[in-house]
Amino acid sequence: MRPGRTCPDPDQPACPRYSPPPRPQIAYNLGPDGYAEGKDRAVSEPNITDTPIPWIVSVDDHVVEPEDLWTSRLPAKYRDVGPHIEYLPQGTPILEGGNYIEEPGTEGPPVAWWFYEDHKYSVKRLIAAAGYDPEDISTDGVTFDDMRPGCFQPAARLEDMTLNHVQASLCFPNYPRFCGQRFLYGNDKELARLCVEAYNDWMVEEWCGDSGGRLIPLCLIPLWDVDLAVAEVRRNAARGVRAVAFSEVPAWLGLPSIHSGHWEPFFAACAETGTVLSMHIGSGTKTTLTSADAPEGVQSTTIFTNSAVSLVDFLFSGVLVRHPELKLLYAEAQIGWIPYVVERVDDIWETHRGWAHTRDNAPEPPSTYYYRQVASCFFKDPTGIDLLHRVGEDLVMFETDYPHQDGTWPHSREVARKHFGHLPADKIHKIVRGNAIRWFDLDLPEPDPESDVL
């Protein structure tokens, strides 16, 4: 008999089986009331209260870079080889190792292509998907006229945020990739450095400049030079930037690992300036596609594991021990996986201490550093909400992922209510805005949660 079983043969039909309780069905293609259009609404849900959802501070959205971002800021000699848009027929993108390999086609309507040195990339519908139904979203190329203006115009973004009950938004890049690794691969590193600086200047001055604090700047670094990275962190911190994009696993980009000591000056600069190390899924480039013939849905489902790998890496690295003021954010990986990973790390720290060097850089159980210095965000994760007490209610933030396919615009308030509207008001406030304001040291007023305008 198996331990804990009460019947002699667990395969007999009479043997009681574990049946999980009914779970709320979270609508992905939401109608105006927050439910999936055409779906059965008689589903099991938590006991949602009348507590209003506060105005959201979303810590993972995206900007579609406007076509003149670099041509208007780079020196004239670089404008033909720096990032610029050309309109050509779309090709057939092939995803290889996390990178789209593609060339323009020879016929068909023109779409927007980024050209940078010898790299070509078409702007795709799935990264500018706000307002489109799931069946209409694909990897097909689009023009800027095919997008909502809020994808690339700050004033229009603010309007879309208000429609979505979002007060403030932190935006990751698109074309430079999620930690700026596009420029890491550039041949001319002087041009690459100028591209990083131009992006950051645009982010601070144009994207966020007139937003009254509603658009939160997140900047890039020259990943290939740690001294330049330190200088860029300090340059941006001096003008109020409190977030920098970094790779989940820099070694996967061909860079030194976080165990090597190479990044210590950068981590120190972030800690000293209060700059949050912000790591988006996919910022390690490596994907979790199991085989060449597996459907793309496999990697879309399992890409969160990159963040799990990264978290374990940091917890055993000693980085958080040496820099106790350093704060991390994992973006778009959701949160339901965190309790097991943190529990497992602590167990390995204890039981494998004789040979696995688990205590060389972690004098305390690694969960100590997680609960002190690591936060994550989510938008569709009822399991994570069930485990909120294990994830840490002070370490969880909400996101809307505008304008990507996974995004919940314009129904993020309804999604939040269905996910965690049953929680006490103080916990709802932490998830929706309080934790983000504290983590990023934001200065935001407290709007009336029941108002539709700011």
The stretch 229-245 carries a mean pLDDT of: 99
Q: What is the pLDDT of residue 4?
A: 36
pTM: 0.88
pLDDT at 285: 66
Give yes or no for residue 434 having a pLDDT over 60: yes
Residue 309 lies in a domain: yes
Q: What is the CATH number of the domain that holds 179?
A: 3.20.20.140
Residue 450 has a CB neighbour count (10 Å cut-off) of: 8
Q: Is residue 293 part of a domain?
A: yes
What b-and-e string marks burial along 7-42, b requiring 16 or more CB atoms within 10 Å of the CB? Answer: eeeeeeeeeeeeeeeeebbbbeebeeebbeeeeeee
CA 305 from centroid of its chain's CA atoms: 13
Which residues have C-beta within 8 Å of that of residue 108, sequence separation ≥ 6? 89, 90
Query: Is 87 contained in some domain?
Result: no
Residue range(s) defining the domain that contains residue 282: 56-64+150-439
What are the backbone dihedrals phi and psi of residue 95, each rounded to the nearest 5 degrees, phi first?
-90, 115
Per residue in 174-218, pLDDT (tens digit) is: 999 999 999 999 999 999 999 999 999 999 999 999 999 999 999
What gap in Å lies between CA 238 and CA 200, rounded to an integer? 13
CA dihedral sign of residues 348, 350, 353, 357: positive
Q: Is residue 123 part of a domain?
A: no
Share of the chain above pLDDT 70, in %: 88
In angstroms, the Cα distances linking 438 to 213, 393, 397, 421 are 15, 13, 11, 22
d(CA 454, CA 445): 10
pLDDT of residue 275: 99
- Count how many domains the chain has: 1
Q: Is 323 domain-assigned?
A: yes
What 3-state class would DSSP assign to 200?
helix
Helices (H), 55-169: 154-163
- Indicate the pairing of strand 119-122 with strand 94-96: unpaired
The β-bridge relationship of strands 166-172 and 215-216 is: parallel
Position 248 in a domain: yes
Please say whether the beta carbons of 160 and 410 come within 8 A: yes
Residue 158 falls within a domain, yes or no?
Answer: yes
pLDDT digits (tens, 9 = 90+) for 103-148: 999 999 999 999 999 999 999 999 999 999 999 999 899 999 999 9
Say whether 172 sits in a helix, a strand or coil: strand
State the CB neighbour count (10 A cutoff) for residue 146. Answer: 15
Q: What is the pLDDT of residue 220?
A: 99
Across 241-272, b (16+ Cβ under 10 Å) vs e yields bbbbbbbbbbebbebeebeeeebeebbbbbbe
Q: Is residue 170 part of a domain?
A: yes
Q: pLDDT at residue 27 above 60? A: no
